[in-house]
Amino acid sequence: MDTKQLTDDQFPSDVKDLQRLVASLQSQVEQQAHSVLELKNHNDKLESENVDLQLRVDKLLQQLFGRRSERRTDGEGQLFLDLGDEATPEVVSALEEAVREAEQVIEDAEEEQKKRKSKSLIKNDRKFPEHLPRIERIIDLPEDRREGLKLIGYDEVETLEWIRPELRVRVNKYAKYVHPANQNQGITSPERPTGLVQGDRFDTSVGVEVVAWKYFYHLPFYRQQDLFAGSGWTPSRSTLANIETAVEFTLRPLAEHLRSLLKTDTCVGCDDTGVVLITPRTMPDLSNHPRGERISEVFAKAIDSGKPSIRANFWGYYASRLPVVAFDFTVSRHRDGPDDVLGDYEGTLIGDCWSGFQKIGVRSDSRITLAACWAHARRKVDECRSAFPIQVAKLESLIRMLYDIEDQIKELGDAERLARRRSLSSHVLGQIDEYLASDQMSSPKVLPKSNLGQAAAYICRHREALGRFIDDAGIPIDNNDCEQLMKRVATGRKNWLFKGSLSAGERAANLMTIIGTAIRNDLDVHAYLEDVLRRALVGETNWAAMSPHTWRESHPESIREYRQDERRQAADRKRIRRARRRRIKK
């Protein structure tokens, strides 16, 4: 019986028929309820997927079109926090001191700004540096217009000119002598110095230009051809590659020394980025290579599968206190890269919580301790801002407070900085732990599989490593310095696109180690490279004396002071910005 077609006069009068009708209606209601429940579950699933996809879209849009700086600005929902009602007197006193310090920082900044303005008003006719050569040209009136006039002086206008680099060929004539009475003694000639390449065809200055153009200015060889051609010489790309190879071979011991020096620091940052490596047509001879087994495995797999290229890796290492950086090249993102470079290292490694880093303490027999990076944790939280604005605002405010504390104690000695971290930073970390365990961060408000749920799980899972900076004044709160270092690889990669061979990648790592360390020491890269390259070619092996931080002491004229000024001004702006924020909290 179709219950949908029943009218009032069609209802059965028999009790059993009525019971059957009721049972049928009940079954239909249950089926409809089940269908509604299924539709609701499906709708909830679609909404969850929609939120997840929207977060991914927002993240991609931020990566493509958003600002690259990680500076946090105050937006809707952003919180200004104190240190909590349960703060100890020491913590409260520190907060009050921070506000007083903020007032002083702002007052000093305003006074400095007034001084700069007054100086700029006094010195308004800026001239070019005095050491630059000057060619005077007198521009006078025509002779017929000067009649009856008296010359009273000249108005000087300085115009800077650029002259294209000039190439020249130095012809070395080595005298040859023979003994006139006994020609069997052969020819006697002056001893010839070791050249950069066989036959001494290229001076060290050419080698320095090739290397600096590629790894300092990020110019690939085909662009270098145009630059050299503009000066009258058009080298082949293979010639430029041979010159690069000769420079790297000469300075390779210097790169190895810098890597060894880096490992004497108590804390080292590590980060990595990918690069395309062309798959070799045949397996190279790796019998004497220290990583031959792993490289052979990767190459064999790529050759057998017919892959034209593989994803190799550059690794960057940044000493926290020593002015040294280092690079390494591997054919894959395998943990044997850091394990090999840090094989004899004893100290703290700071980086992200990549699986290869998480167990490095076990693999190194506790020689190495991992400290996690708060910048990585903050990024994971920030990606969830559109879906969870209140929770993200709270968490980012707490994380920002950690950075404010670091800003306040930056100039203090190790002992006092460590004491502040153990009191102030430890208190803030406790507040972060409490908030992550609160109802605001629990289901159903934040589901475990949501982006914010996963970000919170990341912080909780790596809480010990994230809090390691509390117990050591030499450990930075994040790995941003090393990440900035890796931008040099990313910028170069956009220009030279790929590495053609294993040896090319290893050469690049050695040259970037030397150039990167010179940049960290604010050196004129050309002047530094040319001096150490000439010294290495004549046989000097005192690599410690040729290290950038030592070399700069005897070459103050090659220090780029404007880079130091730029960093100082950027640091001052950051301190003032944070000081104004602390003053608002008062």
What's the whole-number mean pLDDT along residues 305-327? 95
Q: What is the pLDDT of residue 75?
A: 43
What's the whole-number mean pLDDT along residues 147-170? 90
What's the whole-number mean pLDDT along residues 94-113? 68
What's the whole-number mean pLDDT along residues 70-81? 47
Q: Is the peptide bond before 476 cis (omega within 30 degrees of 0)?
A: no
Contact 533, 208 (CB under 8 A): yes
Confidence band for 438, pLDDT divided at 50, 70 and 90: very high
Contacts (Cβ under 8 Å, ≥6 apart) of 266? 320, 321, 347, 348, 472, 474
Instruction: Report whether pLDDT(303) > 80.
Output: yes
Provide the pairing of β-strand 347-351 with 267-278: parallel
Instruction: Report whether pLDDT(183) > 80.
Output: no
Q: What is the pLDDT of residue 556?
A: 95
Confidence band for 578, pLDDT divided at 50, 70 and 90: confident
For residue range 480-494, what is the model confidence (pLDDT) as tens digits? 999 999 999 999 888
Please tell me the pTM assigned to this model.
0.82
> Which residue has 């409809």 as its token pair?
32
Instruction: Report whether pLDDT(79) > 60.
Output: no
Q: What is the pLDDT of residue 579?
A: 75
Q: Please give the full DSSP string across 243-311, using - where no structure is assigned.
A: HHHHHHHHHHHHHHHHHHHHTTSSEEEEEEEEEEEEPPSS----TT-TTHHHHHHHHHHHHHHT-SEEE
For residue range 9-20, what is the model confidence (pLDDT) as tens digits? 566 667 777 777
Instruction: Report whether pLDDT(356) > 70.
Output: yes
Q: What is the pLDDT of residue 27?
A: 79
Lowest-pLDDT range, 27-36, 51-60, 316-325?
A: 51-60
Contact 510, 255 (CB under 8 A): yes
Task: Report the chain's mean pLDDT, rounded to a whole number.
Answer: 86
Contact 80, 585 (CB under 8 A): yes
Q: Please give the full DSSP string across 79-96, using - where no structure is assigned.
A: ----S-TT--HHHHHHHH
**Helix 237-262 crosses helix 502-520 at what angle (to 10 degrees)?**
60
Helix, strand, or coil here: 369?
strand
Contact 527, 182 (CB under 8 A): no
Report which of 421, 401, 397, 400 is spatially closest to residue 409, judged by C-alpha positions: 421
Listed by start position, the domains of the chain span 16-63, 89-102+203-339+497-586
How is residue 293 written in tokens?
Answer: 């087994």
For residue range 513-566, what is the model confidence (pLDDT) as tens digits? 999 999 999 999 999 999 999 999 999 999 999 999 999 999 999 999 999 889
Helix, strand, or coil here: 486?
helix
Confidence band for 99, pLDDT divided at 50, 70 and 90: low
Contacts (Cβ under 8 Å, ≥6 apart) of 190? 174, 175
What is the tally of helices (H) and strands (E) in the chain?
Answer: 21, 8
For residue range 463-479, what is the model confidence (pLDDT) as tens digits? 999 999 999 999 999 99
Maximum Cα interatomic distance, the chain, rounded to a whole number of Å:
148
Q: What is the pLDDT of residue 118?
A: 60
Confidence band for 184, pLDDT divided at 50, 70 and 90: confident
Contact 519, 556 (CB under 8 A): no
Contact 544, 550 (CB under 8 A): yes
Contact 521, 325 (CB under 8 A): no
Of residues 416 and 23, more confidently modeled: 416
Buried b (16+ CB within 10 A) or exposed e, 456-474: bebbeebbebbbbbbebbe
Share of the chain above pLDDT 70, in %: 84
Report which of 358, 355, 371, 416 is spatially closest to residue 267, judged by C-alpha positions: 371
Report which of 370, 343, 341 is spatially closest to residue 357, judged by C-alpha positions: 370
From residue 131, how far is each of 326, 328, 553 by CA, in Å? Answer: 35, 40, 22
How is residue 569 written in tokens?
Answer: 């001004």
Instruction: Report whether pLDDT(80) > 50.
Output: no
Chain length of the chain: 586
From residue 114, how far is each of 110, 117, 118, 126, 583 by CA, in Å? Answer: 6, 5, 6, 19, 21
